[in-house]
Amino acid sequence: MSIFINKQTRVLVQGITGKQGSFHTAQMLEYGTNIIAGVSPGKGGQNVEGVPVYDTVFAAIEEETVDASILFIPAPFARDAAFEALDAGVKLIVLIPEHIPLQDAMDIMAYAQKQNAVIVGPNTFGLVSSGSSKIGIMPNRYFVPGPVGIVSRSGTLCYEIVGHLTGNDIGTTTVVGLGGDRVVGLNFIDVLRRFEEDPETKTVILVGEIGGSSEEEAATFISSSMKKPVIAYLAGRSAPPGKRMGHAGAIIERGRGTFESKVKALNAAGVEVAGLPNEVPAMIKKILS
């Protein structure tokens, strides 16, 4: 059983006629994602890869039932596009763009909470129910079904770890990219809670990085509320204080969010932390054996 999405999830692509939107629509369709409509103002009546295009989300929902939307929208306009989807009743929104203005991101999260909707991102690679559906930009070939759930703040690190798992004949249930901006929707605890409830997920990999306190908070949750084994990999071991490393959220400030503090918290919760991504498959095999 996957979490958040499955093969039946009906997906809308906002910004479908743009270069990124059209390319990733083709990739998602190839993976098996049930994309039923796209939105691009002024392009209604066209189609992309056989997917009908509408001028607005509301025009799309008059014709189709929409469960989730993915946004390939420039950051300055992402707030309006997200609000349009939320107003139309879409309950899962994947925000691909990075550097959405901070106040806009806060507005999106607050309105999504009011609408009882889930936001993935921004600055995320999306999420995938392996072998069934992907709503995102991750490479298709690595995401094969298996017993491991993954939740990650980093896209490239997640791809690397999934690639190592696949190379060792280990697949995944669901993989979720939280996003790298300062303000994001889903957090580690939201996803860990769902993995703990999912009978097909036997173990979980947490991919974190320096900055903030989300890994420490996850460690507290793991210690108190999870029976399934969790392992972790953390990026940023050698990052100097005060320097951002790749993501807006990956910055050490006033002694908070250091690599050492995160490892200490995770170890105290019984979570083994891998030194290198290629160490992860052996750790998983040991747990599953």
Q: CATH for 10-120, among 3.40.605.10, 3.40.50.720, 3.40.50.2000, 3.40.190.10?
A: 3.40.50.720
Bigger pLDDT: 253 vs 28? 28
Residue scoring higher pLDDT (211 or 40): 40
Banded model confidence at residue 1, pLDDT cuts 50, 70, 90: low
Would the CA dihedral through 110, 115, 118, 124 be positive or negative? negative
Cα distance between residue 185 and residue 120, in whole Å? 5
Instruction: Classify domain 138-288 at the CATH topology level.
Output: Rossmann fold (3.40.50)
Query: CA nearest 73: which of 10, 18, 139?
Result: 18
Cα-Cα end-to-end distance for the chain: 21
pTM to 2 decimal places? 0.94
Residue whose C-alpha is closest to residue 33's, from 120, 128, 118, 173: 128
- Catalytic positions, please? 247
List pLDDT tens digits, range 201-237: 999 999 999 888 999 999 999 999 999 999 999 987 7
Tell me what percent of the chain is helix, strand and coil, each rounded to the nearest 5: 35, 25, 40
235 has which bridge partners?
209
| pLDDT recorded at residue 212 | 87
- Domains of the chain, by residue range, sit at 10-120, 138-288
- pLDDT, one tens digit per residue, over 97-122 is 999 999 999 999 999 999 999 999 99
Q: Is it the case that residue 278 has pLDDT exceeding 60?
A: yes
285 vs 119: CA distance, rounded Å: 32
Residues with Cβ within 8 Å of 271's Cβ and at least 6 positions away in sequence, in order, are 206, 219, 222, 230, 231, 232
Question: CATH topology of 10-120 equal to that of 138-288?
Answer: yes
Q: Which two tokens stand for residue 282?
A: 């052996």
Which three-class secondary structure state does DSSP give residue 72?
A: coil
CA 203 – CA 221 distance, rounded (Å): 15
Considering the chain, what is the average pLDDT of its residues? 94
Is the confidence at residue 251, as pLDDT, over 70?
Answer: no
Reduced to 3 states (helix: H, G, I; strand: E, B; else coil), residue 66 is coil
Residue type, 206: L
In contact, 127 and 4? CB cutoff 8 Å? yes
More confident of the two residues 250 and 172: 172
* pLDDT tens digits along 126-166: 999 999 999 999 999 999 999 999 999 999 999 999 999 99
